[in-house]
A and B are shown apart, each in its own frame.
Chain A
Amino acid sequence: MAGTGHAPLRDDRDILLTVRDLEVEFPVGRHEVVHAVSGISFDVAEGETLGIVGESGCGKSTVAKSIIRLNDIKSGSIDYQGNDLAHMEGEALRQIRPDLQMIFQDPISSLNPRRKIRDVISEGIAVWGNTKGSWSQERIEELMVAVGIDPKFGERRPHQFSGGQCQRIGIARALALDPKVLICDEPVSALDVSVQAQVLNILEDMKARYGLTLLFISHDLSVVKNVSDRIIVMYLGKVCEIGNADELYENPRHPYTRALLASIPEPAPTVDVSEGDIEGELPSPIHPPAGCRFNTRCQHATDICFTDEPVMQQVGDSDHYLACHHPVEVAVSVV
């Protein structure tokens, strides 16, 4: 599993955000480092929803946090409308940040329990002032209505709301500064299934209404498929496979993508359940395997997988790219 190479980058579309060779490392004492993200490249077109799936430790949250510069970046570039977010500092970075907002996994702990929700939602506006026309107190009410929270509850505090409502308040807060890109890090993982659909529908509605571009991170493959136009599968800091959401699930080629799809309780019809039996544990990100990072657990691994890192290449002529020396050949499914 590699994921070096720029094959998946597109130049024919309205690209809003381009991440190139992003590398993130975290020091862990005694001169060792965790290789959290090791050279990944992808882009997001305007108005698109890009899903990122993978198991814990694959680096999906690190990618999201790097884009809004919540952690240090070792190398690589993040191009957003001609600005390199990876190398911006100080006031320039501050000026661009309202464009990129984030919602988090735990809806309750991401809201300050001591503040009224009206203040929580309007804090961004309070910081920025009404410097950009559309930011005003009326906008707060409009946003609350848009996410289905009655503005008359604005004086209440977060503990008076359910988890689903708190997540909707979190969405309203993220939208208050009129962002272009909304990064959702596991936004429905902490919610019960009956409210999960409400939040996912609201995200779709907000995307259409405010013309958002979404980066949606989740470990739940069904949820990611539902919201995404394009999906990235990550493993141990690398990209395995990128593709159009329907195409990727219809025709998964990377052994790891197939293992994921076979592991879910109701496996995808395109894979065999036995492909989910990947042995062993996730290798340490401090000493990731040489060659393809999935080689320690892959049923198809041969010598080359231990020496050469596979490069991203296109599958046929569709929007589907993978990094594997031995992609799984599948019969074209008849639908």
Chain B
Amino acid sequence: MPDPQLTVEDLYVRFPTSRGTVEAVNGVNFTLEKGQMLGIVGESGSGKSVTAKTLMNLLPRTAEVDGNIIFEGDDVRAVAKERRKHFWGVKMTMVFQDPMTSLNPVKRCGEQITETLRYHLGDDKATAKKKAIDLLEQVGVPEPSKRVDQYPHELSGGLRQRVVIAMALACEPSLLIADEPTTAVDVTVQKRLLDLLDGLRRDRGMSMILITHDLGVARGRCDDVAVMYGGRLVERAPTETLFADSRHPYTEALLRTIPRIDQPSHTRLEPIAGRPPELIDPAEECAFAPRCRYAQPDCLGTIPPVGGVRGQHEFACFHPANTDRGRQALDANLAAGQTVTGLQIQANAGVN
């Protein structure tokens, strides 16, 4: 089996602040095969965007990074100074959430694409402009030769995001990282943008990391989905496995808390009790334990390591859902009426 295109090993990212050290990413490991689309799902503060920014070398100077990132045989964190200029933004590029803030409002759309081409590939003005029009056409911008001379404010949100995607594709990357690319747009636009990204990835044999908080977005498009919580990757599996047979109690709780379109109206939702984990000086325990209905004493002593079947279905939990061990833990907690962390639980909660 060939080496994966991207390997992330024991990635730690910390930000020293006046209130203490924020442990944003806590030992994340994952690999990405060529041509694969990996979804990273998590809530605010789960560390998904920080992971992406680490890959792209976009973290502020104050960040303390530890771990290995190998991309196509190169150690990303040790790219030699003379290669740095043409490393990021060429083979590995990124698309951000808000297209208005990723575009320069006082530059024409075309210039923003040709800038990349001229800087990285050394194209002359005319070639670059021709390529830019071509790229705009590929990303489905109507009348590309007219749009190329327009400013971002003259375009709709959906078109702006297409221009940003065209910029990211300019140097023919082999990995595209999309960080919440459709969060700022409407559903009909979202569908067209996701269709576009999916099509581009297939046509170009490009790999993609799709970062989203929307489980539905990940479900429809990704080969594999990884779930992050409290700076850790808590579960990763092929998409359908993750949704049909989730192991981590957080994944299970997340799937149950979302209103579903196939439920009748006024279906009572199951909230996840408690609040998101503290990232400043977190305790040496499973970050989800205080909110978890399965929590047992061993969840508090140590951080559960990533187990399961490597490369197939990995999860970091001592008492995984949908297993005998998990059921025993849940039954014991239900009998006691509360978990080891004092979370009150009732027998009827959790029954669909």
On A, residues with C-beta under 8 Å from B are 55-56, 162, 164, 192-198, 200-201, 204, 219, 221-223, 225-229, 245-246, 249, 259-266, 268-269, 276-278, 281-282
Contacts and interface: CB of A to CB of B under 8 A. Distances in A.
A281 B275 contact: no
3 cross-chain pairs, A with B, having the tightest CB-CB distances, nearest first: A265-B216, A226-B259, A197-B269
Contacts of A264: 187, 191, 216, 261
A276 B188 contact: yes
B263 interface: yes
B261 A263 contact: no
B258 to A, nearest CB: 6
Contact of A192 (B43, B187, B220, B268): B43
Contacts of B191: 262-265, 276-277
12 contacts: A194-B254, A194-B257, A194-B276, A195-B272, A198-B271, A204-B268, A223-B259, A226-B269, A264-B261, A268-B262, A277-B191, A282-B156
Given A55-B187, A198-B271, A264-B216, A221 B261 contact: yes
B59 interface: no
A180 B44 CA distance: 35
B219 A266 contact: yes
A195 B271 CA distance: 7
Given A192-B276, A260-B187, A268 B261 contact: yes
Contacts of B189: 55
Contacts of A278: 188
B188 A263 contact: yes
B217 interface: yes
B261 A259 contact: no
Nearest to B186: A55
A277 B264 CA distance: 26
Contacts of B258: 193, 196-197, 222
Contacts of B213: 192-193
A226 B263 contact: yes
Given A226-B263, A277-B191, 11 more contacts: A55-B186, A55-B187, A193-B215, A193-B257, A194-B253, A197-B269, A226-B265, A229-B266, A264-B187, A265-B214, A265-B217
A223 B266 CA distance: 10
A193 B269 contact: no
Contacts of A225: 259, 261, 263, 265
A201 B220 contact: no
B267 A226 contact: yes
Interface string B209-247: 000011111011000000000000000000000000000
A224 to B, nearest CB: 9
A159 B264 CA distance: 37
B266 A281 contact: no
A90 B334 CA distance: 58
B256 to A, nearest CB: 9
Contacts of A282: 156
A281 B261 contact: no
